[in-house]
Amino acid sequence: MSFVRKRPKGYYGVAEYRDSNGKRHQKGAGTFKLKREALAAADKLERELNGLNTELANLSFAEYYQRWYRLYKEHSVEPITQVRYRTVEKLIADFFGQKKITGRIVE
């Protein structure tokens, strides 16, 4: 269930979700001027979090980084920092290509 909190600079959207163990978590969706914008962003984030595939073994490193950025950094950093994260994302994609994430060292 998404909800909104009033902050001095606007409204802060919060998405609630449950992990695979059933434990409840909250994730911020960012601060917005309008309450309806904050609630819409929180709803979108909640849908993403509830639809996550917990099996990460089939992701490439570039895909994993992109997923991590979208979930944890996109709504919580300044625009200039977002540009830096996207630049690093391109560098990772160029360097690692489609190399998969594994629990062992790949030569």
Dump pLDDT digits (tens) for 43-86.
988 888 776 554 565 788 898 899 889 888 888 889 999 999 99
Same domain assignment for residues 48 and 61? no
E-assigned strand segments in the chain = 3-7, 10-18, 24-32
In the listed set 36, 52, 68, which residue is the last one of a domain according to the structure? 52
82 touches 72 (CB < 8 A): no
Same domain assignment for residues 45 and 62? no
Provide the token pair at 21.
């163990």
Predicted pLDDT at 55: 58
Same domain assignment for residues 45 and 69? no
Confidence of residue 105 (pLDDT cuts 50, 70, 90): very low
Same domain assignment for residues 60 and 107? yes
| Predicted structure pTM score | 0.49
49 touches 20 (CB < 8 A): no
Q: What is the mean pLDDT of the chain?
A: 84
Sheet holding 3-7, edge to edge: 3-7, 10-18, 24-32
Predicted pLDDT at 23: 82
Question: For residue 88, is pLDDT > 60?
Answer: yes
Same domain assignment for residues 14 and 29? yes
Q: Please count the other Cβ atoms lying within 10 Å of the Cβ belonging to residue 51.
A: 8
**Quick check: helix, strand or coil at residue 104?**
coil
